[in-house]
Amino acid sequence: MQALPPEDQKALKDAERAWIVWRDQEANLAARLDAAGGSARRVAFLEASIALVQEREKVLEGYQEKAGSAR
């Protein structure tokens, strides 16, 4: 974050806030399709959330590398 200029920091924060909303909706859909309900759906939601966070982590690492090389 510190490697980014202020306007890019704001853009990243806005993107992260939007991504969190999307992540929860996406995980909820995946859970509804994967599990009939009850505790199985909660587990499916958590598993989907974890997978999405891991994917996002890779994206953010790519941003970090680009920001570092732009210095």
- Residue 10 domain-assigned (yes or no): no
- Residue 11 domain-assigned (yes or no): no
Q: What rounded mean pLDDT belongs to the chain?
A: 92
- Residue 12 domain-assigned (yes or no): no
- Residue 6 domain-assigned (yes or no): no
- Residue 8 domain-assigned (yes or no): no
Phi-psi region of 5 (alpha: psi -120 to 50; beta: other; left: phi over 0): beta
Contact 43, 35 (CB under 8 A): yes
Q: What is the mean pLDDT of residues 8-26?
A: 97
Confidence class of residue 55 from pLDDT cuts 50, 70 and 90?
Answer: very high
Q: What is the mean pLDDT of residues 11-40?
A: 95
- Residue 13 domain-assigned (yes or no): no
Domain of residue 39, residue span: 18-69
Is the predicted pLDDT of residue 61 greater than 70, yes or no? yes
Number of domain units in the chain = 1
Contact 33, 43 (CB under 8 A): no
Prediction pTM value: 0.85
Query: Can you tell me the distance from the alpha carbon of 51 to that of 31, in angstroms, rounded to the nearest whole number?
Result: 12
- Residue 37 domain-assigned (yes or no): yes
Instruction: Give DSSP secondary structure letters for 38-52.
Output: HHHHHHHHHHHHHHH
- Residue 59 domain-assigned (yes or no): yes
